[in-house]
Amino acid sequence: MALIKLHHVTIDFPIYGMQPSLRRAVLGGLLRYRNGNSGRDKRVVVRALNDLTFELRDGDRVGLIGHNGAGKTTMLRVLAGIYVPSSGQIEINGKVSTLFTTSPGLDSEDTGYENIITCGRFLGMTKQELVRKSPEIAEFTELGDYLSMPVRTYSAGMLMRLGFAVATAIDPEILVLDEGLSVGDARFTEKATKRIEMLIQKSNILVLASHAESLIRQMCNRVILLDHGSIVADGDPESVIAQYHELLKKPQVLSFSPLDEAYPLL
């Protein structure tokens, strides 16, 4: 059974190399610092996610919505294991497959065929899986003889095709998906969309970050609304999207969620 549990998860990003006077002038007190009594010893920290607690189980199709800078991408990267929580705990049961970068482990000097193996292993596929899936991956790319050439000779569109074909050859239990994924021309995009829909159907849990309300309504049975790194709503798509509309009526100014009062303002 696939499972995701977040318990009071917080993500802080330290910013190094900024002098106190510059911090005050540029950031206007939006950031805070921690450690030490002198400005020289203190560390500026941006809070990207603030005290998140929720649980996802088999059958959950969750949409992440919120304005730019709300924390959606950070959330995806936490679930993918790219970011480790600064505090709190995360428990994940099941194989997590990500689809917001299509070329993990790609080597520009290797051929397309060699990169199918390298990127596949990077994504956690076994040798047996790659032997079985490589012919289908190669066919899906439609790159033909170019697969025998170094990928440094590829155009941007060809690289997208290769990376997408490998990344979507996975057998996901937990699928983490970014709507902003780009896969090339219109014809290939239509083909790629069908492949993504098949992946979603096979997955136990889906987490999709998107600004497209129609896509959220189509793909998701639950929506989490993020605002400045915090969860402000979690429920059925229609009610949470309605709350999002209300939130959008308010002036949106990018800022950072407040840190512990133990960390004084600049």
Q: Are 197 and 161 found together in one domain?
A: yes
Give a yes or no: residue 262 inside a domain: no
CA-closest candidate to residue 79, choices 58, 97, 61, 60: 97
Q: Give the domain range for residue 124.
A: 99-203
- Distance (Å, whole) CA 143 – CA 184: 13
- Distance (Å, whole) CA 221 – CA 206: 10
The string of pLDDT tens digits covering residues 120-168 is 888 888 889 999 999 999 999 999 999 999 999 999 889 888 988 988 8
Q: Are 243 and 227 found together in one domain?
A: yes
- CA 260 and chain centroid, separation: 26
The string of pLDDT tens digits covering residues 43-99 is 677 889 999 999 999 999 999 999 988 999 999 999 988 899 999 999 999 988 887
Range among 101-105, 171-175, 247-251, 257-261 rated most confident: 171-175
Q: Are 164 and 196 found together in one domain?
A: yes
| Least confident segment among 170-174, 227-231, 242-246 | 170-174
Q: Which domain CATH number covers 88?
A: 3.40.50.300
Checking if the pLDDT of 260 tops 50, the result is no
- Distance (Å, whole) CA 260 – CA 32: 9
- Distance (Å, whole) CA 99 – CA 228: 24
The string of pLDDT tens digits covering residues 157-214 is 898 889 889 888 888 899 998 876 656 666 787 888 888 888 888 899 999 998 889 8
Q: Is 79 helix (H, G, I), strand (E, B) or coil?
A: helix
Number of domains, the chain: 2
